[in-house]
Structure 1
Amino acid sequence: MNTMRKQSGFTLIELMIVIAIIAILMAIAVPAYQDYSIRTKVSEAVSVTGGAKLAVAETYQSLGRFATAQASYGWDFAASDYVASSTIAPSTGVITVTTQNTGASTDPVLTFTPETGAGRIDWDCAATAGEDKHIPAECR
């Protein structure tokens, strides 16, 4: 008796098609993930400004104007892994945050400008350096 066995499995062409599809997906996914990772690191700059914004707002409410020296705001910044510096401009209250080690070709610099009116302070955020895809949504 001669019994034939039918072989089952994937052909070489089918395997090559699957590998090509995976390669295409990776070519799209890896850069998107890298941009997301950089944007996450840059968003630390936004959270760092929370204390500085509070210091500016309290000083403005107390004095009725912005302080004439950064030291007058009573706020000091210590560098972190992704934020190199954060300064408050005298007389304007503008907060400038410089990022570092984010993985971006140009580390973003964010500027938070206070807008006063009706007894409150609103903050406008703008990026002065860095690519738009690396900037958090509130600063684009």
Structure 2
Amino acid sequence: MASDSKQCKYLTVCMHYNGLFTPKPLVYLNAVVVSICDVDFGAMDLKEFNLFITKLIEGSSDNVYYCTRNEPLAKGIRRIRNDVDYFEIIETGYSDEVGLRMNVYIDHDNEPVLDWADMEVVEDDEGHYSEEDPDDDKDS
């Protein structure tokens, strides 16, 4: 898929790697962050994107996630599993008219990142932390 020729510049991808995801709150610690602004990611498919990442980080890129810059990590994180997911990144990134930026994260430790995001600790108005339980259907 080629990027939209009407775009005047490429999508900037902030690649976060060699770090560690931790839960409560979900963060990516001790990362190396590289901003890539001179590559046409829209002209790549997922296989080419993964090869690009593997060369950049000099290692495996089996678990790749993205998050738009306008959302907290726990709410916006998505795993890139196939070409449809990858092209969603491109579309989402180019629709961010404010900055054309996308954050990409590499999970080197096969952590249950999406499970952690689903169970994210939410701080209420009083400063207390509570777990959101999606299975709790009780009206108490």
TM (norm. structure 1) is 0.27
Larger radius of gyration: 1
Task: Specify which structure has the higher proportion of strand.
Answer: 2
Normalised TM-score (structure 2) = 0.27
Higher helix share: 1
